[in-house]
Amino acid sequence: MGCYNGCPYLNKDFTADWQIEDPTGKNDFEFIKIINQFKEKVLQLKNIQYL
């Protein structure tokens, strides 16, 4: 979810750049923090209603 790449499973007009940091090399606390950011974004995405 970055670099404004279109998702191959959704309409090409849909793009999302969540600006979530790469957890590579981070400690466990930071890794869990990033996982929670993904979780929140996915839950928000799930609740989007398309007309």
Q: What's residue 28's pLDDT?
A: 96
- The DSSP code for 9 is T
Residues 4-41: tens digit of each pLDDT: 555 566 666 656 678 888 888 999 999 999 999 989 98
DSSP state of 47: T
Task: Please give the residue that has the higher pLDDT: either 10 or 44.
Answer: 44
Residue 47's pLDDT is 83
| φ, ψ at 38 (rounded to 5°) | -60, -45
**Dihedral over Cα of 16, 7, 22, 49: its sign:** positive
Residue 18 near residue 2 (C-beta atoms within 8 A): yes
Alpha helices in the chain (DSSP H): 28-46
Token couple for 47:
């609740």
pLDDT for residue 1 is more than 50: no
